[in-house]
Amino acid sequence: MPKGRQIQSRITKELADCARDTKSGVTALPLNECSSNNLTKLVGTIEGPEGTPYAGGHFMVDIDIPQKYPFEPPKMRFKTKVWHPNVSSQTGAICLDILKDQWSPALTIKTALLSLQALLCSPEPSDPQDAEVARM
């Protein structure tokens, strides 16, 4: 199977796993739901965790899948404005180790979204993406 088809097959399985899990509070879909041929642009949603200022919110995440996925992490950026020290209030860029040097091919889109959800519960102000928010 050509490499591109292997990536598409894996992403299809990962999206199906997200769709089956209705309790985690995270979802991922192709950006253009009419196109199952291009799975390199996805949109994720994260439910705000209970007991946090984000509870009750739904946060959209742009997901770009690189050509070397799963050996390189997906590129994720909050589309919804989030006031959080590890998220740029200007661009939505996210400071999270598994989206950088701690990524492993064993991780999935779902585990990355769950990690973002956990980040909303436990900010890391010592490693801020947004220094202004970290000072607050």
CB–CB of 97/111 below 8 Å?
no
Check which CATH number belongs to the domain holding 114 and give it.
3.10.110.10
In whole angstroms, give the CA distance from residue 93 to residue 91. 5
89-116 pLDDT, tens per residue? 899 999 999 999 999 999 999 999 999 9
Domain count, the chain: 1
User: What residue numbers bound the domain in which 45 lies?
Assistant: 3-135
What positions carry a catalytic annotation? 95
66-91 pLDDT, tens per residue? 999 999 999 999 999 999 989 998 99
